[in-house]
Amino acid sequence: MWRTLVREFLSDLNKQKLRSFLTLTAIAWGTLSVVLLLAFGRGLGTSMMRGMLGAGNQVMIVYGGQTSMTYEGLDIGRQVRFTEEDLKLVERSVQGIQYASPQYGRYGAQLKRNDFTTNTYMEGVDPDFEIMRTMYPAAGGRFINERDVDEMRRVLFLGDEIAVRIFGEEDPVGQQVMLDNTPFTVIGVMKPKMQTSMNNGPDADRAIIPYTTFRNMYGNRTLRSMLIRPGDPSLQESIKTDLVNLMASKYKFDPSDEQAMPMWDFIEQEEMSRKVSTGLEIFLFVVGFFTLMIAGVGVANIMFVVVKERTREIGVKMAVGARKVHIVTQFIFESLFISFLGGLIGIGISTGIVYGVRALNLQGGASDFLGHPEISHIAVAVTIGVLGAIGLLAGIFPAIKASRVDPVESLRYE
């Protein structure tokens, strides 16, 4: 039976080449639209997430602020400034913290090598900073370690862009640089990374030294901020609550006073970014779905035309004993075959385009966001399901109409 259905379908395709070509093209185009929209949409969402994590991987940056509410008779406007001892107290008292680092900062730090001079934002941090800020060293170098901190070594870790400005094509590792007229040895250069959120400029243009060295050089006693990362992102809210209560108790401010201790919460931002990315994928799928539905209407119209053209043939089959279920099966099969064949063509072309774009390995500017499309297997599976539904719906009504043909009347049909 199935062999007969396939043979009749291929025969009909051969008789109506132009009509069949246009129908298959419509289905293929609709499928292509869905797959490409979702692939580039997912690639965009992934790139946005990667760019955000480039500025902070599930971390919370805690700043000292200024009170905006009275508390226990104390006036508003009091400065809240944290120290290294505060961070140690937080690590001892607040459960669930996996990584933590003090952050000292200095704008306009001067870096000089031979006759070249440049200025940048420089930070004094702990080794945990590497993981929290995803500042991983390129091959041949390293980030600062505990021994650098304990011995207050004059070692320097550079962002990839500022390293190129200073050293050009030379390998910076092991070279000396004057940092504010003090000699430092470069121990590593950051791997290039995407970064969409900025904290005093991009990490690619930053200089990093041990926080103890920073304190010893500049005499700072208060931190610019504290950097904290939970061991489990689900502990975010409890850690924030315990942290605020601990510092509020020590520095005498209202725990609800957000201006006294501002926070930049990357975990919260990551969740928002995921929701935006999911919403974008849903929107793009809906757009592509309606494109497919329009193609499905075309298939239904073609099937109605086929029924009309083959009325006499249908009547002959029924006259010689064909049952209604055979007629219905024939037209539904043809409709499904057109849908899946067009869909297969569309998926094949879109897959080729996606992997072709990825093979170009585009970098920089908009290419960082649109040059890395990702095919979603779930989206392909859903698209195939939609194609099946379209083929079924586009074929079932013409099939029912065909099954109701009166054999006697159809034999008179010209």
**Is 70 exceeded by the pLDDT of residue 66?**
yes
pTM attached to this predicted model: 0.70
- All residues at 6 or more sequence positions from 134 whose CB lies less than 8 Å from its CB, including other chains: 53, 54, 56, 57, 193
pLDDT of residue 182: 95
CA 120 and chain centroid, separation: 30
| 225-235 tens-digit pLDDT | 999 999 888 88
- Other Cβ atoms less than 10 A from the Cβ of 408: the count is 10
**Is 60 exceeded by the pLDDT of residue 334?**
yes
- All residues at 6 or more sequence positions from 4 whose CB lies less than 8 Å from its CB, including other chains: none
Q: Which residues of 199-229 are buried (b: 16+ CB within 10 A; e: fewer)?
A: beebbbbbbbbbbbbbbebeebeebbbbbbb
pLDDT of residue 185: 96
**Ranges assigned E (strand) in 5-96:** 60-63
pLDDT of residue 75: 87
pLDDT of residue 362: 65
- All residues at 6 or more sequence positions from 392 whose CB lies less than 8 Å from its CB, including other chains: 332, 335, 336
- All residues at 6 or more sequence positions from 42 whose CB lies less than 8 Å from its CB, including other chains: 277, 281, 373, 374, 376, 379
pLDDT of residue 340: 84
**Is 60 exceeded by the pLDDT of residue 1?**
no
**Is 60 exceeded by the pLDDT of residue 367?**
no
Please report which confidence band the pLDDT of residue 371 belongs to, taking 50, 70 and 90 as the band edges: low
- Residue 260 half-sphere exposure toward CB, CA atoms < 13 A: 25
